[in-house]
Amino acid sequence: MGKITVETCGIEGLKIITPAVFGDERGYFMETYHYKDYAAAGIELEFVQDNQSASKKGVLRGLHYQLQYPQDKLVRVISGEVFDVAVDLRPGSATYGKWHGVILSAENKKQFFIPKNFAHGFLVLSDTAEFVYKCTDFYHPNDEGGIIWNDPDIGVEWPIPEGMELIISEKDQKWGGIEERKR
């Protein structure tokens, strides 16, 4: 018990989690998830699916959300580094449309907890990155919504280094802005 440190963000529900890492000359050990520790931190959920993706530098995925089957997500990076973003889409929320971003990397081992009804996306900053996430609902085909990554009404400050070419899927280039979502 007590093997994680939890930071809150300016948006209720979002949490940055840093696990305790036990290392010596051989390497390290850490628990990436322990139900009782997370429940004590207010994340008392049943995760039903784990996903993993690999991407190269400049890949920007998102901003995605689920329409009918929203998911809580616990995300982390096991190789490389990404800038991870969550946008509050909860109806009636005082922080609706606000975003928070965090650097997740294999080195810092941080995790980002993103509750239901948030849009999510990330930008790969390293040459490659492997991204893993736990979800509280199963994948449902045709249930994905999205918001364009550079919506000026949200104003995500993506840390895009000079000269970086963004690689964005055709689907992610066609999403509308947050204002279109309200219609």
Contact 137, 81 (CB under 8 A): no
| The two three-digit tokens of residue 2, written as one number | 């007590």
- Both tokens of 28, joined, read 């390290």
Structure-block tokens of residue 127: 């040459």
- Count other Cβ atoms within 10 Å, centred on residue 12: 13
Sheet holding 60-66, edge to edge: 99-105, 81-88, 118-124, 60-66, 144-146
C-alpha span between 100 and 86 (Å, rounded): 6
Would residue 64 show up in a list of annotated catalytic residues for this protein? yes
Instruction: Count the Cβ atoms, other than its own, within 10 Å of residue 174.
Output: 10
Does residue 100 have an active-site annotation?
A: no
CB-based burial, 107-116: b 16+ in 10 Å, e otherwise: eebbbbbbbb
Diameter of the chain measured on Cα atoms: 57
Q: From the candidates 33, 64, 69, 96, give the one annotated as an active-site residue.
A: 64
What is the Cα–Cα distance from 89 to 100, expressed in whole angstroms?
12
| Catalytic position from the list 38, 65, 100, 133 | 133
Q: Give catalytic residue positions.
A: 64, 133
